[in-house]
Structure 1
Amino acid sequence: MEIITVHTAQNIDIDYEIGGLGERILARLLDYAVFIPFVIAAMFIVPAVTEYASAVYAIVMVVLFVFYDLLCEAFFNGQSVGKLVMKIRVISLDGARPKFSQYLLRWLFRMVDFGITGGLGALITAAMSENGQRIGDIVAGTVMVRTEPRTKMNNIVFNNTESTYQPVFSQAGELNDGDIALIHDVIANYFKTGNNSIVFAMAEKVKAHLTITPPERMNSLVFLQTIIKDYSHISAQADAL
């Protein structure tokens, strides 16, 4: 299984297994299967109602089919129904959740990957590119990975022993190893499930406990990662004394 290492802005290296071609093909087939009940309804049920209702139903189904991938990935953290079942996800090359513009680019280039080239473009580039990316992934700066990273967050070692490093939050030193282990577990759970709410809740508890007001643009995940990084550095410095 091929591995991609993403280097986050917080100096964390996380290894992910790249989603295999077989998994991606099965995920696509499962996504098509989602529409089978609607096709059956269109064949046997909808014709029994008014012509106007049939036309509206057809238009709605076509729109949903066309925008299915974009909507699913944007609203369900890089996963469609098929990807969820196959336990694969779209992430940004920096390990973060892709921006909507990345999802949009990835979706637009489906016309090249699966339309103009009849699927050969996606198949060839995914098989030959270093990170298993199709054309849309390359353009958007995304990659398809298995949902659980190989690098466990509680095994991450922060290399912050350089004397020039200045902790962002000196209050992190007030925490203990148990607190940090709990934060590790929360972040690991987020990377596994994509559940943002537990990250937000933990960040709010840490902010309240340490009386910290982080910069406005710092989101909850980055805040918790920074707390861990600062704690690791402060602890290392204390041990060196």
Structure 2
Amino acid sequence: MKTLQIKTAQNVNIKFTVATVFQRLLAFLVDNVLKFSYLYFANKVFDFNLLNETLNGDGWTIKAVEVLFLLPITFYSLYSEILMNGQTLGKKLLKLKVINVDGFKPSITDYIIRWLLRIIDFNLFMLLYIYVASLGLKDQYFLVVAIFIFGKMIGFFLILFTNKNQRFGDIIANTIVIYLKDDVKFSHTILENLSEGYKPTYANVIKLSDNDARIIKETYKTAIKFNDYKTLIKLRSKILEVTEIKSIHKSDKEFIDIVLKDYNFYTQKM
């Protein structure tokens, strides 16, 4: 598997295993099975023929209901990745996760960009078909089939041939998809020894992800080792920005140490 070494803004090298195109394709298929299952069972529950009769053929209302009916699957990947910290159910099953190219959790804007650009990665066919139809060539069967295949495979080929296995949406959003093969080792790297009866100070540390905590800890240990106070200041600023914590500690070292302990308290003890 391809590995990627990222140098953070604090000059700490973090190594990730990049998800392969086949892992991402399998996760994509799992997610689509879930979408089709939703359509099947929801269609069984809601009788749209009865709805049509009830509304006396009111086309606008029927279309509005259909749009509402499709919203859960239309925005599935977007809200899943936002709510599940970079994962859909398919990605979670395959142990894949979306992260920022700097190693941190992507912003909501990053997730939105990835979702919007799926139209290029997986649905370019629709745009190309509209163009072909405008030229009056829509009756050319083989051309339409070729355009369909090409449009659906853009994301596949980009993931296959780009250096960081990124589709177009990843490139523009500055994200990558990693394989969490080292979950146990990963969790061990962020563990802290907490005293009996430890009381946390900053509840907002739960806004951090495990990956954020790992980067913070490794950067913190490196900065302490070399007395790199500038890095400690930058690291503190980044933590405050991400978590929106109101710090009560004046010392950067003490603040970061408490943040790591609090993160462990909320994620390991509860």
Superposition TM-score, scaled by structure 1 size: 0.63
Partner Cα separation in structure 2 for residue 71 and residue 87 of structure 1:
18
Determine which of 72, 81, 93 is the counterpart of 2:101. Answer: 93
Determine which of 113, 123, 129 is the counterpart of 2:156. Answer: 123
1:82 corresponding residue in structure 2: 90
Give the superposition deviation at 1:49. 4.9
Alignment of 1:157-196 (within 5 A): 158=222, 162=226, 165-166=228-229, 168=232
Determine which of 101, 104, 118 is the counterpart of 1:110. Answer: 118
Partner Cα separation in structure 2 for residue 12 and residue 121 of structure 1:
34
Superposition TM-score, scaled by structure 2 size: 0.57
Q: Determine if the alignment matches structure 1 residue 34 to structure 2 residue 34.
A: yes
Determine which of 194, 212, 224 is the counterpart of 2:249. Answer: 212
Give the superposition deviation at 1:8. 2.3
Q: Determine if the alignment matches structure 1 residue 73 to structure 2 residue 81.
A: yes
Tell whether the 8 Å contact from 2:121 to 2:155 is kept in structure 1 after alignment. Answer: yes
Report Cα offsets for 1:10-32 as digits up to 9, x if no partner. Answer: 33222111111111111111111
Partner Cα separation in structure 2 for residue 158 and residue 114 of structure 1:
42
Greater C-alpha Rg: 2
Extract unaligned runs of 5+ from structure 2.
Answer: 56-60, 125-149, 191-213, 234-242, 262-270
Tell whether the 8 Å contact from 1:88 to 1:146 is kept in structure 2 after alignment. Answer: yes
In structure 2, relative to structure 1, the CA distance for the partners of 1:40 and 1:161 (3 Å cut) is closer
1:230 corresponding residue in structure 2: none
Tell whether the 8 Å contact from 1:5 to 1:14 is kept in structure 2 after alignment. Answer: yes
Partner Cα separation in structure 2 for residue 97 and residue 137 of structure 1:
14
Number of aligned pairs? Answer: 184
Partner Cα separation in structure 2 for residue 59 and residue 44 of structure 1:
17
Tell whether the 8 Å contact from 1:16 to 1:149 is kept in structure 2 after alignment. Answer: no
Give the superposition deviation at 1:7. 2.0
In structure 2, relative to structure 1, the CA distance for the partners of 1:38 and 1:161 (3 Å cut) is closer
Tell whether the 8 Å contact from 1:10 to 1:222 is kept in structure 2 after alignment. Answer: no
Amino acid at match of 1:13: N
Partner Cα separation in structure 1 for residue 115 and residue 7 of structure 2:
25
In structure 2, relative to structure 1, the CA distance for the partners of 1:128 and 1:43 (3 Å cut) is same
In structure 2, relative to structure 1, the CA distance for the partners of 1:222 and 1:72 (3 Å cut) is farther
Give the superposition deviation at 1:9. 2.9
Partner Cα separation in structure 1 for residue 258 and residue 109 of structure 2:
21
Give the superposition deviation at 1:98. 0.3
